[in-house]
């Protein structure tokens, strides 16, 4: 018969291994879609361009950010800061009223929102279908 301490060690090792396997297989918490009220666009009508910025959201820390203009077929790719904010991007081709899809990609997850472009802060009334 084995000593109790050896049995307990084996039991603890088995529990730890099972927990480790479960953690690897456990689904990750999905990231939320971008909120239009946190988006800001600066539209330059003379140049036909716009830049994008996003207020900090911890869920997006380090995310790859895609800003795509459906009307021109062009956009820009950047990275969110450590706090999830997106500093103003380089300008991309755009005019007011264009449909802009903003996507955040993190750990094989992609969350997107489409808005109609207007200068300044966006809002939910400007959302378009994805």
Is residue 17 exposed (0-12), middle (13-18) or buried (19+ Cβ within 10 Å)?
exposed
Distance CA 127, CA 130 (A): 9
64: tokens are 């790859």
pTM for the model stands at 0.79
Question: What are the average pLDDT values for consecutive 10-residue runs of the chain, which has 130 residues?
Answer: 57 55 59 97 97 97 98 98 98 98 95 98 96
Domain ranges of the chain: 36-128
Looking at residue 114, what is its pLDDT? 98
Q: What local confidence, expressed as pLDDT, does residue 9 receive?
A: 56
Distance CA 65, CA 42 (A): 17
The answer to whether the Cα torsion of 57, 55, 49, 125 is positive or negative is positive
How confident is the model at residue 5, as a pLDDT?
A: 60
Architecture (CATH level 2) of domain 36-128: Sandwich (2.60)
């Amino acid at each position: 018969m084995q000593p109790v301490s050896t049995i307990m060690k084996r039991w603890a090792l088995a529990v730890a291994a099972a927990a480790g396997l479960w953690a690897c297989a456990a689904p990750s918490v999905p990231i939320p879609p971008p909120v239009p009220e946190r988006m800001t666009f600066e539209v330059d009508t003379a140049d036909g361009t716009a830049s994008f910025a996003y207020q900090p959201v911890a869920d997006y820390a380090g995310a790859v950010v895609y800003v795509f203009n459906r009307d021109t077929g062009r956009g820009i790719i950047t990275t969110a800061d450590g706090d999830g904010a997106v500093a103003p991007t380089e300008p991309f081709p755009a005019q007011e009223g264009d449909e802009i899809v903003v996507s955040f990609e993190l750990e094989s997850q992609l969350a997107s929102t489409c808005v109609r472009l207007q200068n300044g802060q966006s809002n939910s009334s400007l959302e378009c279908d994805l």
